Amino acid sequence: MDMTLGYLRLEATRLVRNISFLMVSLVTPLVMYVVLANKARGAQDTESLSFLTVTMAAFGAMGAVLNSGSGIAEDRAGGWLRQLRLMPVRPAQVVGVRALTGMLGAVPPVLAVQLAGALGYGVHHSPAQWAATVLVLWLGVAPLALLALGVGHLLRPQLAQAVSVAGYVLLSVVGGLWAPVDKLPHWLQGVSRVTPVNRYAELALDAAHGRAPHAAALLVLAGWLLASAGFALVACRRGSRAA
């Protein structure tokens, strides 16, 4: 336990010192939110404003954890994983700590977009709804953090970065973060329902509106969490041997 906490402190410190990463993960979703929210406010579309306040926060959280995958790939290329092999840290501990660190990077964009919605655009929720929304937006990104971790352990830095960017854009569109799922082509709506991003956003929207979570959304996201954890653990062991 002491070793795990020590390793977590080390990775959290590295994250805090990576100012450029934190700024990019914070500024990009916030700028997109302001642009889209201004259009919705101009059209007096309060429903779209509420939708964007959740989905752009999810978009920012997703970007933060997916970009962390390329950082892992850079660590592997730079020999950091070889140093970890000299420490009494098991692969499961590495996966858990790095996934949690990636999720910590998702906190600033989530809070920034939620605050922008509440203070700048008059999005109204009860304190309990705000708290539940932030919690779901943070916890629900775990499957994506684990997927990014696995990709980072298996691919070279440049390729991991390309996969992260492509996955970021594709999952955002298919998952319904830029527009409601019912506006997608009919055949794509079915695909969207089985993606972790769509169900993640659905649970966050339910929390924002004080609705009980849908069982199907919970099951799909839980399935992705288990599959992603297994993938990340296998990739970590393989990547560590290759490092």
Residue 238 in this model has a pLDDT that exceeds 70: yes
The more confident residue out of 97 and 70 is 97
Q: What is the pLDDT of residue 80?
A: 62
Q: How confident is the model at residue 152 (pLDDT cuts 50, 70, 90)?
A: confident
pLDDT of residue 157: 81
Instruction: For 92-142, write each residue's pLDDT tens digit.
Output: 777 888 888 889 889 999 999 999 999 999 898 899 999 999 999 999 999
pLDDT in tens, 11-28: 677 766 666 666 777 888
Q: What percent of the chain has pLDDT over 70?
A: 85
Burial-class residue 213 by CB neighbours within 10 Å (0-12, 13-18, 19+): middle
Predicted pLDDT of residue 21: 65
Residue 59 has pLDDT above 70, yes or no: yes
Whether residue 82 has pLDDT greater than 90: no
Q: What are phi and psi of 90, to 5 degrees?
A: -80, 155
Q: Do residues 11 and 101 make contact, with C-beta atoms less than 8 angstroms apart? A: yes
* The predicted structure's pLDDT at residue 105: 87
pLDDT (0 to 100) of residue 241: 61
Please, which pLDDT band fits residue 213 given cuts at 50, 70 and 90?
very high
Calculate ∠ Cα 126-175-117, nearest 5°. Answer: 30
Question: Residue 211: pLDDT above 60?
Answer: yes
3-state helix/strand/coil string of 198-210:
HHHHHHHHHHHCC
Write out the two tokens for 147: 């997927």
Q: What is the pLDDT of residue 17?
A: 67
Q: How confident is the model at residue 181 (pLDDT cuts 50, 70, 90)?
A: confident
d(CA 203, CA 149) in angstroms, rounded, equals: 23
The structural domains of the chain, with segments of one domain joined by +, span: 2-242
Nearest to 65 by CA among 105, 93, 112: 105
- Tell me what pLDDT residue 18 has: 67
pLDDT above 90: percentage of residues in the chain:
47
